[in-house]
Amino acid sequence: MQYAYKTENTCAQMITFNIEGDVITGIEFHGGCNGNLKAIAKLVDGWSVSQIEEKLLGNTCGRRPTSCADQLAKAVREALSA
């Protein structure tokens, strides 16, 4: 199932991905730091929700209380809970 998540307090405005069971694939960040976000998407492709949360949840960007990576962790948890 494809899922779209509207981010908060980040340069990326939205994250889309596929969720099958608890496995996440096809991650795309819309906006933000293009190269870095493509790399994150490739690195965690095929990971479970808990693996993504373990590595990315709580990651911040500069003075912001969140980051695109943190928002991805929140997005996959929300998708799994939906």
Q: What pLDDT sits at residue 26?
A: 98
Average pLDDT of the chain is: 97
Q: What is the pLDDT of residues 23-33, one digit of tens each?
A: 999 999 999 99
Q: Which helix (H) or strand (E) holds 69?
A: helix 68-81
Q: Which of these, 14, 31, 27, 74, lies nearest to 82 by C-alpha position?
A: 74
Domain boundaries, the chain: 2-81
d(CA 50, CA 62): 25
According to the model, what pLDDT value does residue 12 have?
97
For residue 64, what are the β-bridge partners? 61
Q: What length does the chain have? A: 82
Q: Reading across the β-sheet that carries 23-31, which strands appear in turn? A: 2-6, 12-20, 23-31
| pTM as predicted | 0.96
